[in-house]
Amino acid sequence: MKLDCNVNIHHLTRVEGHGNIRIKIQDGKLLQAQWEVVETPRFFEAILVGKRWDNAPWICGRICGICSIGHTLASIRAVENAFGIMPSLQTQKLRLLLKHMETLQSHILHIYFLAAPDFLSAGSVFPLIESHPAVVLRAAGLKKLANDVCDSVGGRRLHPTRTVVGGFTMLPDKKDLARFRERLADAAGDLLLTADLMKTFSIPDFTRETEFVSLKGAGDYPFIGGELISTDGVHKKEYEYRQMTNEYIVEHSTSKWSRLSRESFAVGALARVNNNFDYLLPEAKEVCLSLGLKPVIHNPYMNTVAQLVECIHVVKESINMIDELLNSPWTEPKQPVIAKGGAGVGAVEVPRGILYHNYEFDEAGHITRCDCVIPTSQNHGNIQYDLQELARKYAAEGMQDRDIELLAEMLVRSYDPCISCSVH
Amino acid sequence: MDSGRQQSRTYLGVPLFRPRVGFFELSSCEGCQLQLLNNEATLLDFLSLVEVVNFREAMKERSEDYEIAFVEGSVTREDEIERLRKIRENAGILVAFGSCACFGGVNQLKNRFSLDWVKNEVYGNSPIKTDFVRPLEAVVKVDLKIFGCPVKKEEVEKIITHIALGQEVVHHKYPVCMECKANENVCLFDIGEPCLGPVTRGGCDSWCPTNRAGCWGCRGPAEDANLEQMEKIMKENGFSPDTILDRIECFGGFSVYAEKLRKDLGDSR
């Protein structure tokens, strides 16, 4: 039994944005285990006020440099729901393909560049270029494929150009799609190798019972729109999202926090797999179980494993969708947009969890109110309560401060937080 | 400095300076830094050209010993001024990296309102610190700007190669519109889309217009940009004053003209 512990991490590395970890145990008593978000707010929700509807996806995509596609799509969905626009089947498929490739890109970035160095005893991916060249090349290849598809479908991998309210400004070249199909088939093999690599990682054995929130599957593993559920049995409509998120302000964080049935809840890949395992494609299910992920799992470190499972799912589903797109003639890329007064909500599962955009419009289609609830802000409370439990558990087991520090860093990283996004 | 390290590579027989670089971010989406990690095909070559010693988003090790600092984001809070000054002290060359750093980016749209109003709109009565958004050069001396939201990775690599070779970095003087014409795109005015291509600095290879999305001016003004004429052409093409203003004010590169347009529109926004 160890009586004292002091961990102080200023601006945690290998995460997006700025956060600090502080743990203090004195005489066996936990005095503090805090996850501080110190990122500067950028006030997107205020910036949007007065802007015309077409500004929303363009500006809101810039909330985040990693999941700009997800923000753009949530923003578009909120505007389309407000104006009563139903996207064509072709638009829906292209958006989902784009979304899937962002998921693949972001998950691979996290699995290989942000999380893996901890399991391979490196400070970053850079020394792995020498020590594990095949691993780094595989990661770079998978990321490149995902980004190439995003360039082709969305116009640009970061801050997409073709995605607009009503559809797309332009359609991808079918020859490119056919080539991507071949590369995706190869990627499926690389992902199985990634699963083999992951089996060698020693994932900390830590659990804390958690409520998980995500979109609710209805036939398919859900990504864009639909109903909302939690493992504690809460079930709401998309437009009732505020009853799921319940945002509130805490003193030590510039990001808002959320709670539902308990003091906190979790969103993200693990939440989605926990809630929607049945809708995963068979290949993804198989890898999921082989990696010891049998829902419902309450170990937050398993989020990285869940991300890999989702990579397999999105690659397989993308191949299927490309086949469907190749087998039908292109229709009009974009439908006309008629602005009107009202409000709309768009809920989209982005890499780090469920994201909501909500706008209110005047009769001319100018935004009068804006609300964005970010996955990482929904996770902040859960990260903090996990940290408390982790500090208590491992200090009681007599673990050294520097080992607790590493486990705490790895815990926060496992949520793959997007901190500047959460403050927006 | 380790001279062996500096001369580890040569170009046409000339030993290459392999600069130690750090990446930093103030208020931003961190997307411009990610653009570098997103450039998988040439990432390894790029890393052989520079020695990355500080890149919080990608690595655990940190060093204050660097020659070039790439700073993304704009200044929006007091503590960022201190951080930026410290980076300035340490760096031989300070690069404003992306539109937020160069002009304030989308962040500066906040400056349309009073600080009390924006704080209240987002955080209610809870205390929160924020200031008016400023580009880096309002606080420290900036040696070089890399424009764009996001920056174009090919351009970043070209600029860093120039620095490594000790060559002067010269930005394109001509507008996006020239590149768009060279790419043989359909003119966006002809399909009813507003576009700032005629006044925005080129170098992105007409990234948005080539994807049939009108230019929003993220790279700021081209040399001799004629904004009065731009406004006139937009009006002739039937675009409303607030659509023109939305484009002109989006990234902060045309802030003086945006101010004029806002005054013309009256106090309605």
pLDDT at B49 over 90: no
CATH of the domain at B141: 3.40.50.700
Which of 161-200 (B) contact A at CB < 8 A? none
Residue A242 has pLDDT above 70, yes or no: yes
Smallest Cβ–Cβ distance between A42 and the set B57, B107, B216 belongs to B107
* Those residues with Cβ within 8 angstroms of residue B254's Cβ, 6 or more apart along the chain or in another chain: B199, B217, B220, B221, B227, B248
The verdict on B180 and B124 lying in the same domain is no
E-state strands within A106-237: 163-164, 167-168, 213-215, 228-230, 235-236
Residues of A in contact with B77 (CB under 8 A): 40
> In this structure, what token pair is assigned to residue A420?
């500047």
User: Are A129 and B47 within 8 A, CB to CB?
Assistant: yes
Mean pLDDT of A142-166: 97
Contact A396, A375 (CB under 8 A): no
Interchain pair A55, B246: CB under 8 A? yes
Average pLDDT over residues B70-84: 96
- Say if residue B147 is in the same domain as residue B207: no
Q: Which comes out higher in pLDDT, residue B4 or A105?
A: A105
Tell me what ipTM this predicted complex has: 0.93
CB pairs under 8 A between A and B: 157
Q: What is the pLDDT of residue A252?
A: 87
Share of chain B above pLDDT 70, in %: 94
The confidence score (pLDDT) of residue B61 equals: 80
Specify the pLDDT at position B267.
54
Long-range contacts of range B164-172, CB-CB < 8 Å, 24 or more positions apart? B164/B16, B164/B17, B164/B18, B164/B19, B164/B49, B164/B50, B165/B11, B165/B14, B165/B16, B165/B17, B166/B17, B169/B144, B171/B145, B171/B147, B171/B201, B171/B203, B172/B201, B172/B202, B172/B203, B172/B222
d(CA A332, CA A339): 20
- Distance from the Cα of A325 to chain B's closest Cα (Å) equals 20
User: Which of B99, B70, B100, B74 minimizes the C-alpha distance to B87?
Assistant: B70
Which pLDDT score is estimated for B8? 56
Please name the member of A14, A45, A155 whose beta carbon is closest to the beta carbon of B58: A14
Q: Evaluate the omega torsion of the peptide bond into residue B150 and state whether it is cis, within 30 degrees of 0.
A: yes
Residues 214-253 of chain B whose Cβ lies under 8 A from any Cβ of chain A = 216, 242-243, 246, 250
Q: How far is B144 from chain A (nearest CA, A)?
A: 22
A223 compared with B268, residue with greater pLDDT: A223
Asked whether the predicted pLDDT for residue B268 surpasses 80, the reply is no
Of B30, B122, B250, the CB nearest to A46: B122
Q: Which of the residue ranges A33-42, A47-56, A227-236, B103-112 would you say has the lowest mean pLDDT?
A: A33-42
User: Residues A314-328: pLDDT tens digits?
Assistant: 999 999 999 999 999
Tens digits of residue pLDDT in A96-109: 999 999 999 999 99
3-state SS class at A150: helix
Given this model, what pLDDT does residue B11 score? 67
Please check whether residues B188 and B224 belong to one and the same domain: yes
What count of other Cβ atoms lies within 10 Å of the Cβ of residue A363?
9
Give A345's strand partners: A358
Which burial class, exposed, middle or buried, applies to A127 when counting CB atoms under 10 A from its CB (0-12, 13-18, 19+)? middle
Does some domain include residue B171? Answer: no
Residues of chain B with C-beta less than 8 angstroms from the C-beta of A114: 58
**Is residue B3 over pLDDT 50?**
no
Chain B residue with Cα closest to A424 = B29
In chain A, which residue's Cα lies nearest the Cα of B191? A169
Between residues A42 and B266, the one the model is more confident about:
A42
* Cα B196 → chain centroid: 16
What are the phi and psi torsion angles at A66 (to 5°)?
-95, -45
A13 interface with B at CB cutoff 8 Å: yes
Distance CA B55, CA A14 (A): 9
Does residue B33 sit in the same domain as residue B134?
Answer: yes
Among A250-254, A385-389, B142-146, the least confident range: A250-254
Give the three-class secondary structure for A343.
Answer: strand
Q: CB–CB of B90/B124 below 8 Å? A: no
Question: Which of A44-74 are b and which e, b meaning 16 or more Cβ less than 10 Å from the residue's Cβ?
Answer: bbbbbbbbbbbbbbbbbbbbbbbbbbbbbbb
What pLDDT score does A204 carry?
A: 96
Cβ atoms of A252 and A34 within 8 Å: the answer is yes
CA distance A264 to A379: 8
pLDDT at A386: 97
Least reliable range by pLDDT among A227-236, B134-143, B148-157: B148-157
In DSSP terms, A224 is beta-bridged to A348
Tell me, yes or no, if A181 comes closer than 8 A to chain B by beta carbon: no
pLDDT of residue B1: 36
Written out in words, the top-level CATH class of the domain with range A44-423 is: mainly alpha
User: Is B26 an 8 Å CB contact of chain A?
Assistant: yes
Q: How many separate domains does chain B show? A: 2
Domain membership of residue B269 (yes or no) is no
Higher pLDDT, B34 or A96: A96
Confidence category of residue B269, pLDDT binned at 50, 70, 90? very low
Its domain, for residue B233, covers 176-264
What pLDDT is attached to residue B4?
Answer: 38
Last residue within a domain, chosen from B113, B133, B164: B164
Q: What is the pLDDT of residue B55?
A: 85
pLDDT at A84 exceeding the cut of 90: yes
- Mark yes or no for CB contact B31/A162 under 8 Å: no
User: pLDDT above 90 covers what percent of chain A?
Assistant: 90
Same domain, B145 and B230: no
| The pLDDT value given to residue B60 | 79
Is residue A330 within 8 angstroms of chain B, CB to CB? Answer: no
Whether residues B121 and B38 share a domain: the answer is yes
Indicate if B151 and B220 belong to the same structural domain: no
Give mean pLDDT, residues A187-191.
97
Chain B residues whose CB is inside 8 A of the A123 CB are 59-61
User: A2 pLDDT exceeds 80?
Assistant: no
Residue of B nearest to A63 (CA): B29
Backbone angles phi, psi at A243, to 5 degrees: -75, -15
Q: Do B59 and A14 touch (CB under 8 A)?
A: yes
Q: Please report, for residues A121, A128, A227, B191, B214, the alpha-carbon distance to residue A131 in angstroms, rounded to integers and kept in the order given.
A: 11, 5, 46, 53, 46
- Looking at residue A293, its pLDDT comes to 96
Which pLDDT score, from 0 to 100, does residue B9 have?
A: 65
Q: Which residue of A has its CA nearest to B240?
A: A52
Q: Select from B24, B59, B112 the residue whose CB has the most chain A CBs within 10 Å, as the one to mutate to test that interface.
A: B59
**What is the band of B5 on the pLDDT scale with cuts at 50, 70, 90?**
very low
Q: What's the mean per-residue pLDDT of chain B?
A: 90
Cβ distance A17 to B44 less than 8 Å, yes or no, reads: no
Please report, as a single letter, which amino acid is at residue A197.
Answer: L
Contact B128 A41 (CB under 8 A): yes
Same domain, B111 and B72: yes
Over residues A349-388, the pLDDT tens digits come to 999 999 999 999 999 999 999 999 999 999 999 999 999 9
State yes or no: pLDDT of B65 exceeds 90.
no
The confidence score (pLDDT) of residue A46 equals 97
Bridge partners for A25 per DSSP: A5, A30
Q: How many other C-beta atoms are found inside a 10 Å radius of the C-beta of residue A310? A: 26
pLDDT at position B13, please?
A: 73
Q: Is the pLDDT of residue A424 over 90?
A: yes
- Cβ count within 10 A of residue A226: 18
Number of other CB atoms surrounding residue B211 within 10 Å? 19
Contact A18, A382 (CB under 8 A): no
Strand positions, DSSP E, chain B:
10-11, 14-15, 20-25, 51-55, 68-72, 93-97, 144-146
Do B105 and B160 fall into the same domain?
yes
pTM of the model: 0.95
- The yes-or-no verdict on residue A129 having pLDDT over 90 is no
Identify whether residues B53 and B83 lie together within a single domain. yes
- List beta partners, residue A35: A21
Quickly state the pLDDT bin for A119 (edges 50, 70, 90): very high
> Based on the domain organization, do B136 and B212 belong to the same domain?
no
Reply yes or no on whether the pLDDT at B7 is more than 60. Answer: no
Same domain, yes or no, for B79 and B133?
yes
Give domain status of residue B170, yes or no.
Answer: no
Instruction: Please tell me if residue A144 touches chain B, with a CB cutoff of 8 Å.
Output: yes
